[in-house]
């Protein structure tokens, strides 16, 4: 009898663990590029491995209050500046190479990025690395909020790494310039995704520094970046692949099109860029200048209304 109960317990535990494994893989399996999104427990298992660099992309004040043990701090704001008169644009490649190398990130580092939960700061950093041709990077699903609530190691002690050599391989195909957008308007093979809220999309609420009373690029579709996440088991995380696929199918954002994402400043749209990258969209660009550039050039076309 004792042996039978022992066998039953073993079978039960094995089945339970298998169900967890299958559930996780079902979540990840729908993504074409699942390695770009890392779960908290998986990151914990990798901590201390050679080549891993965990980056807290929040402002220093937030980092100092508490961060993942072993994480360095590079505020995403350090990757941005005023470029050709446009605010909050990606810095020149040479400046970014110097920044990353000085913080201990090498060309071959596996970089894991995180912010508060599933915000757009980590995805802006992700897009920046993608433009630089970085090969190994991921975003932490649920960010530090999920990490901390799960009781994983948090510290207020600063981590510093020795300097490294960072050599970028700039990939212009990931960036949409003003001229690229001009040429792409009205093209059947291109879809513009406006990632702002509906009121900004229609022009009802222009947004700071957006000129001419607001509006959008002609022909753009609206997929608000905040709809990518949901609260599950008390944590704010990315929705499943099936949910995200359905969202973009409904908006008629097809994989055979070139997709150009934009928002007000080029920040929020990187969250859409990241999600579309997860889903395997092959032709993706982010318009870094976005509406604060486009709307302040008087002769460029804009649309308003629903």
* Equal CATH topology for 31-155 and 172-294: yes
CB-based contact 267:206 (threshold 8 Å): no
Look at residue 200 in the predicted model and tell me its pLDDT.
Answer: 98
Separation of alpha carbons 160 and 75, rounded Å: 14
Distance of CA 213 to the CA centre of its chain: 29
Look at residue 22 in the predicted model and tell me its pLDDT.
Answer: 39
- Three-class DSSP category at 226: helix
Query: Both tokens of residue 22?
Result: 């299958």
Nearest Cα residue to 263 out of 304, 305, 206:
206
Distance of CA 59 to the CA centre of its chain: 17
Query: Both tokens of residue 177?
Result: 């310039």
Look at residue 28 in the predicted model and tell me its pLDDT.
Answer: 53
Quick one: CA torsion of 43, 40, 136, 53, rounded to 10 degrees? -50
CB-based contact 145:57 (threshold 8 Å): no
Q: Candidates 3.30.70.520, 1.10.460.10, 3.40.250.10, 3.20.20.80; correct CATH number of 172-294?
A: 3.40.250.10
CB-based contact 207:200 (threshold 8 Å): yes
Sheet containing strand 37-38, strands side by side: 37-38, 137-140, 110-114, 52-56, 72-73
Query: Both tokens of residue 259?
Result: 């997709």
Look at residue 24 in the predicted model and tell me its pLDDT.
Answer: 42
Look at residue 220 in the predicted model and tell me its pLDDT.
Answer: 99
Letter string b/e over residues 259-286, b meaning 16 or more CB atoms within 10 A of that residue's CB: bbbbbbbbbbbbbbbbbbbbbebeebbb
Fold of 31-155: Oxidized Rhodanese; domain 1 (3.40.250)
Report which secondary-structure segment, H or E, holds 181: helix 178-184
Report which secondary-structure segment, H or E, holds 86: strand 86-90
Domain limits, the chain: 31-155, 172-294
Nearest Cα residue to 258 out of 204, 203, 185:
185
Look at residue 29 in the predicted model and tell me its pLDDT.
Answer: 58
Mean pLDDT by 10 residues, the chain (306 residues): 43 40 50 98 98 99 98 99 94 99 99 96 99 99 98 98 99 98 98 99 97 98 98 94 98 98 99 99 98 97 96
Look at residue 231 in the predicted model and tell me its pLDDT.
Answer: 95
- The pTM (predicted TM-score) of the whole model is 0.91
């Amino acid at each position: 009898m004792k042996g039978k109960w022992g066998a039953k317990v073993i079978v039960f535990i094995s089945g339970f663990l298998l169900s967890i494994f299958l559930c996780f893989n079902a979540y990840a399996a729908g993504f074409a590029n699942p390695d770009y999104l890392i779960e908290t427990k998986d990151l914990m298992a990798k901590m201390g491995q050679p080549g891993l660099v965990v980056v807290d992309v929040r402002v220093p004040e937030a980092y100092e209050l508490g961060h993942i043990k072993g994480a360095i701090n590079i505020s995403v704001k350090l990757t941005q500046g005023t470029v050709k008169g446009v605010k909050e644009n990606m810095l020149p490649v040479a400046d970014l190479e110097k920044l990353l190398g000085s913080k201990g990130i090498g060309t071959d580092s596996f970089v894991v990025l995180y912010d508060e939960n599933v915000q757009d700061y980590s995805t802006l950093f992700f897009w920046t690395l993608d433009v630089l041709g970085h090969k190994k990077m991921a975003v932490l699903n649920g960010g530090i909020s999920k990490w901390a609530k799960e009781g994983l190691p948090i510290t207020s002690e600063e981590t510093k790494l020795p300097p490294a050599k960072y050599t970028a391989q700039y990939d212009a195909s990931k960036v949409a310039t003003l001229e690229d957008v001009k040429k792409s308007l009205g093209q059947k093979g291109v879809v513009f995704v406006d990632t702002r809220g509906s009121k900004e999309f229609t022009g009802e609420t222009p947004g700071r520094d957006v000129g001419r009373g607001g509006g959008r690029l002609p022909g753009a579709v609206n997929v608000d970046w905040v709809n990518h996440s949901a609260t599950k088991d008390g944590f704010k995380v990315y929705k499943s692949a099936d949910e995200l696929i359905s969202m973009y199918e409904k908006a008629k954002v097809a994989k055979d099109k070139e997709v150009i994402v934009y928002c007000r400043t080029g920040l929020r749209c990187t969250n859409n860029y990241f999600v579309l990258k997860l889903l395997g969209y092959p032709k993706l660009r982010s318009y870094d200048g976005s509406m604060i550039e486009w709307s302040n050039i008087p002769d460029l076309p804009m649309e308003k209304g629903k």
